[in-house]
Amino acid sequence: MYHPTRREFLVRSALLAAGVSTLPLLRPTTSTAQGAIRAEDLVDAGESFGRGTGRGVTQGAAPGGTALRAARGGAFTSRVLQSSIGFTHVGLHWSAAVPSQAELVFELRTSQDGSSWSPWSAARLQRLPEETQVGDYFASLVYAGGARFVQYRATFQTAGGASPSLRRVTATVIDSPATTISLSSAATDQLPAQSVSDADSGRDLTVTSREQWGANEKQRFSRRNKELWAEMFVPAKKLIVHHTATRNDYADAAEAAAEVRAIYYYHAVTQRWGDIGYAALVDRFGNLYEGRHGRGEGTGREYLSAGVVAGHDTGYNYGSAGVALLGDATQGNWPMTADNGPMWDALVRFGVFEAGRHYLRPLNADGTAASSSFLRSDNVWTASMRNVSGHKETNSTACPGETVMALLDELQSAVHSGLADTSRTGVTLTNVRPGGRETRVGTTIAYEWVAEQPEGGWTLVGYEYCAEGWYKPANNINITYLSGYTSEAQPRQAWTRVGAQTTSRSFTPTKAGQYTFHVRAVLRNDTTGTERRGAYAGRHTYLVK
Ligand SMILES: [Zn+2]
């Protein structure tokens, strides 16, 4: 799901070890409702494999130790792994070599006493080895409700005589208790929340902040107090919907927040990302959670920062916002099967806020889904990507499940409707030169644009444009800002205002990178006299080599 490769992380780790950092040292802060997470890694490998039982599976020498293999398909059931703590969740991850077409499928079961067991449940693959610094395959979290024992079984599917080679299995058990949260109302399904304002778009949103859901900010920092994943800012051009592939039957708001804290720990600590991978999450009660940490630290920090890069969709993380629905949409007890209900409403609220503040168009004028080509962070183009997409449209995954995929048309319409409080006057770029979408350093790039006719009650009074430019080396997750940003260490988009007569601009990139030109209309309300930006910016991206 995440973009950077393992090699990028090793390079970054080396830079950190050398004391090279783009940001000053930031002190971790203690959150007010800190989740008391405990966790333990239960490792099965080498000799301890011998205490499991295999059918068609043998153990043999492999680079760096031994591995399990199957000549013609087989299954392996592990010994019982015992934890020293009671735990609420288990995340299975494994080190393996899996030939193409072959497959390793995991299931697990849990027990409180080691004799009475839960049914086997699928441990579904969520991250590939190159998607985390750890280098393991990671399955999504399985709920275990106070268990102390876990057992797994692996099914080996061979391809043309080539077997998967399983070197190590780790069951990371996490205890994320549903601690008492001081609820904002008598309703036990509503979390405290606070209002967030986006000055640029004039939009507000009520969100449960990281402090309010109990994020332990220390999980973002190393033992030596270094922030593990510095915040970077790339304006979102796409909204991408996920599910978390965790349980659906959390009973109340306290349990829902405990689910979010478990996911945060699993991403930040177990997978060594240093934070949760989503920009925001939504639970079945309609609570909307702030995800990835944004600008500033501690008291006075910014909530739900616009454009902060998170890790939710490999290749697409730079320039998209990922929102995750809490639970598993592939299961029969999935709560959101139609375009209504509290989870749906919260998803739409976030979609309107996010599309609104990034001037994203969900629908074309003719009502079809708006789309554009997207330049991935590895400089590969995706043609005709919908502005509101599901994760599986971008990468090979079941996320967010067919039930949610079937609702994305309705989501586009609902976000479109929600943007009706401002003029829809969009701007369209015309006569972009040079043609195509890739060019060379030193080439002048020129844009002309035209605004749609403002609706009644609004007058076009000007434009604002921004030539967003940044560079990401292939071997590093950090970007260098090149143009279109303010000069702060944690910069924002810098917009230039021009009059309504100005309808062209040109600039000449002097450095290689990704450059996106944004231009939006500024309109005055004829009744109130207040100025507001039009709902949709014109936008065009060049890869400059
Ligand atoms: Zn996903």
DSSP string, 181-200: ---SSS-TT----EEEEETT
Read off the pLDDT band of 63 (50, 70, 90). Answer: confident
Quote the ligand 1 centre to 110 CA distance (angstroms).
25
Quote the ligand 1 centre to 116 CA distance (angstroms).
33
Quote the ligand 1 centre to 330 CA distance (angstroms).
13
Phi/psi at 51 (5° precision) = -90, 0
Specify whether the CB–CB gap between 327 and 243 falls below 8 A.
yes
Quote the ligand 1 centre to 71 CA distance (angstroms).
33
Quote the ligand 1 centre to 228 CA distance (angstroms).
22
Sketch the domain layout of the chain as residue ranges: 6-29+215-246+258-280+291-334+343-418, 38-175, 427-544
pLDDT higher than threshold 80 for residue 148: yes
Q: What is the distance, to the nearest Å, from the Cα of residue 358 to the centroid of all Cα atoms in its chain?
A: 17
Quote the ligand 1 centre to 267 CA distance (angstroms).
13
pLDDT tens column, 404-416: 999 999 999 999 9
Find tokens 């899996």 and name the residue.
98
Read off the pLDDT band of 475 (50, 70, 90). Answer: confident
Average pLDDT over residues 227-238: 97
**What was the pLDDT predicted at 182?**
67
Helix (H) or strand (E) holding 359: none
Average pLDDT over residues 216-228: 95
- Full-model pTM: 0.92
Average pLDDT over residues 63-75: 92
Quote the ligand 1 centre to 375 CA distance (angstroms).
19
Quote the ligand 1 centre to 244 CA distance (angstroms).
7
Quote the ligand 1 centre to 401 CA distance (angstroms).
9
**What was the pLDDT predicted at 16?**
36
Average pLDDT over residues 380-400: 96
Whole-angstrom distance, CA of residue 401 vs CA of residue 398: 6
Quote the ligand 1 centre to 391 CA distance (angstroms).
5
**What was the pLDDT predicted at 484?**
98
**What was the pLDDT predicted at 542?**
98
Find tokens 């599901």 and name the residue.
390
Find the angle CA(375)-CA(378)-CA(384) to the nearest 5 degrees: 25
Read off the pLDDT band of 185 (50, 70, 90). Answer: low
Burial class (CB in 10 A: 0-12, 13-18, 19+), 520: buried
What would the two tokens of residue 506 be?
């040109």
Read off the pLDDT band of 397 (50, 70, 90). Answer: very high
Could you name the CATH architecture of 6-29+215-246+258-280+291-334+343-418?
Answer: 3-Layer(aba) Sandwich (3.40)
Quote the ligand 1 centre to 219 CA distance (angstroms).
22
Specify whether the CB–CB gap between 343 and 349 falls below 8 A.
no
**What was the pLDDT predicted at 7?**
38
Quote the ligand 1 centre to 243 CA distance (angstroms).
6
Quote the ligand 1 centre to 242 CA distance (angstroms).
4
Quote the ligand 1 centre to 505 CA distance (angstroms).
38
Whole-angstrom distance, CA of residue 431 vs CA of residue 439: 16
Quote the ligand 1 centre to 312 CA distance (angstroms).
6
Give the CA distances from residue 20 to residues 53, 254, 268, 297, 453, in Å, rounded to whole numbers and listed in that order.
48, 40, 21, 20, 51
| Collapsed DSSP state (helix, strand, coil) of residue 164 | coil
Quote the ligand 1 centre to 132 CA distance (angstroms).
15
Quote the ligand 1 centre to 355 CA distance (angstroms).
19
**What was the pLDDT predicted at 198?**
95
Bridge pairing between strands 458-471 and 513-525:
antiparallel
Residues belonging to the chain: 545
Read off the pLDDT band of 493 (50, 70, 90). Answer: very high
**What was the pLDDT predicted at 8?**
39
**What was the pLDDT predicted at 197?**
96
Specify which residues 104 forms β-bridges with.
156
Q: Whole-angstrom distance between the N-terminal and C-terminal Cα of the chain? A: 27
Please give, one letter per residue, the 3-state secondary structure of 383-411.
EEEECEEEHHHCCCCCCCCHHHHCCHHHH
Q: What percent of the chain has pLDDT over 70?
A: 92
Quote the ligand 1 centre to 266 CA distance (angstroms).
15
**What was the pLDDT predicted at 458?**
96
Whole-angstrom distance, CA of residue 163 vs CA of residue 44: 19
- Check the CA dihedral 384-390-393-394 and report its sign: positive
Quote the ligand 1 centre to 179 CA distance (angstroms).
27
Whole-angstrom distance, CA of residue 423 vs CA of residue 426: 8
Quote the ligand 1 centre to 127 CA distance (angstroms).
10
Quote the ligand 1 centre to 313 CA distance (angstroms).
7
Quote the ligand 1 centre to 397 CA distance (angstroms).
7
Burial class (CB in 10 A: 0-12, 13-18, 19+), 187: exposed
Specify whether the CB–CB gap between 89 and 142 falls below 8 A.
yes
Quote the ligand 1 centre to 402 CA distance (angstroms).
12
Domain at 38-175, CATH class: mainly beta
| Collapsed DSSP state (helix, strand, coil) of residue 266 | helix
Specify whether the CB–CB gap between 294 and 305 falls below 8 A.
yes
Type of residue found at 504: S
Least confident residue range of 34-48, 141-155, 165-179, 323-337: 34-48
Quote the ligand 1 centre to 2 CA distance (angstroms).
10
Domain 427-544: which topology? Answer: Immunoglobulin-like (2.60.40)
Quote the ligand 1 centre to 392 CA distance (angstroms).
7
B/e letters for 68-94, b = 16+ CB within 10 Å, e = fewer, are: bbbeebbbbbbebbebeeebbbbbbbb
Bridge pairing between strands 320-325 and 280-282:
parallel
